[in-house]
A and B are shown apart, each in its own frame.
Chain A
């Protein structure tokens, strides 16, 4: 559905050459890396940091920072899309595939709720965090992931709006029901496909 013409508006149309088809509707490309979060940036010392797969109140498996670093890691280059409308192309991350973590933890469920330092949560179908689509990323652009961007580690699920790539992630809770996380409770979309512009509930 397109709306009325905005008198005198032409727009900058600055999608870089060659990037046509890579920028979802309603997004613009930025070279910056904007920061968005709902509260203060948490700082958990690495010697107290763990990543856990939980289900039904039980911890299926937990890794220390050192143990996570010892798992096979992958370097991936992906485009990312924030619901606030910036997209950033060819971002380079290094992290452990969620497939690897789930394989080691066992357990199965149709949904996961990512949980984080600071109390942030976000919900995802398990099929969106498996099959080589999601990572626990601890490195960005060749260096450690800065805390304001979610370090020491954040979830990376680049095919969904970036609020699903939870900052300061500490684990995944396997769930039978698709329960809304933090932003989803406040009216954002339960799934968040940027190509369908699923920004808000009902989109």
Chain B
């Protein structure tokens, strides 16, 4: 802010000096002009009166002739003074207005304000290096979860949208290019509370540049970057980008997960959703022969994953030589002829995976007419086409933006959640279904909150204190209602990490140890109740023993006395 003030002062130097000089001449002249007072005695204006008269004259306010009617000489000088002072005055005012409208200066002011807002953040926050469709969703979800977000985005129109939406916390934003390290610094890469940087722009090179810059500036920071090209992804991995997201492989993966283990997929979607949302009923893709239209990055990933699940595919591709497709039917898939050639009538599913929304819709509509029993997977590229896709109501609508947002959330909520999800993939479908029914029983069908705690002096002082007195504190105790220990809180511990050894859905009777990390899944209300158990020795004692410990010294002393007395009488 200092530099801006000095910039303004420097630019105003000339108009200010002009005003001072012209006023000085006008004032001194006015005091020298002979005049007459109301009694007709000779009178000269004092310096103070002259300053007053010139001030209201120069600013064109014009109160008239004060304190007495002026003589000819005074009027003559004042006429001259008007032209002398009014012009510099307007010059200065004009200069100030141009200065305020100066785009360079305004940019400097907004940038400085943004940097100040970021510096003043008191909570952990994430930096989003774009505000496109997936970042948009991500920002909304993080805000819903009460996490702070900072946005850098080079396009003003997208930021206008951000300005209009309702958020719980203010989201500081800057219209600038994240590729410049100084903008990253302003966004708080070096801020001690910054928890991570997320680069999800459409341009792989920008994401790469951001990831490199962040890892150089602050190597310990979490970096999640989107990369569609394999060489860029490898490059990112080489310097330790924490998570590289390729939406196409991700979707292929998820499709395979759906075919293979629907429960696991559902669990994944549920734990990374926006709290409060309900999940649509999932469709289980059928096994059999599928027709895949479009063999681009998306199609390739789908085919690869479907084949891994022993599903045969027939590929339709308009430009086979460009996409490196050896065995396929040439055509776009929008005409019935090509689809019949691919034997659509005997297929169980169709994937419309071209990068053109209109074509995708046309493909599935034609295919649906030929075979109404088809399982339809459609790729949606543009978010504003959402209405059309909703109207068509495909079995699975693949939307890169949502997939990216979910994947980012899994890593941002807690490192434990990402670990849990990767472990869950290794489990059977039955295991996942059982966990889901347990979760639904405990907290209903809306998307729950997921959060992690660590058993230590800072996070859970009460647990540590009671453990030091030799009491047994188990996971079960953290699941009881502090208002009535007979009731259960709406939460389920889904992962316990002890000495880096994870155990999925720990047994409630597990004894807690210092240094344990637990991932909970529960209703938002429970998330705010839990700290009262973890921080308050009295509450925790009540949960464990069912005894209310007196708060004040006097009551404690009385209780001790009373206990001893009853002890004596008992022994006697």
Q: Do A and B come together as binding partners?
A: no
Binding site for A on B (CB under 8 A): none
- Using a CB–CB cutoff of 8 Å, the interface residues on chain A facing chain B are none
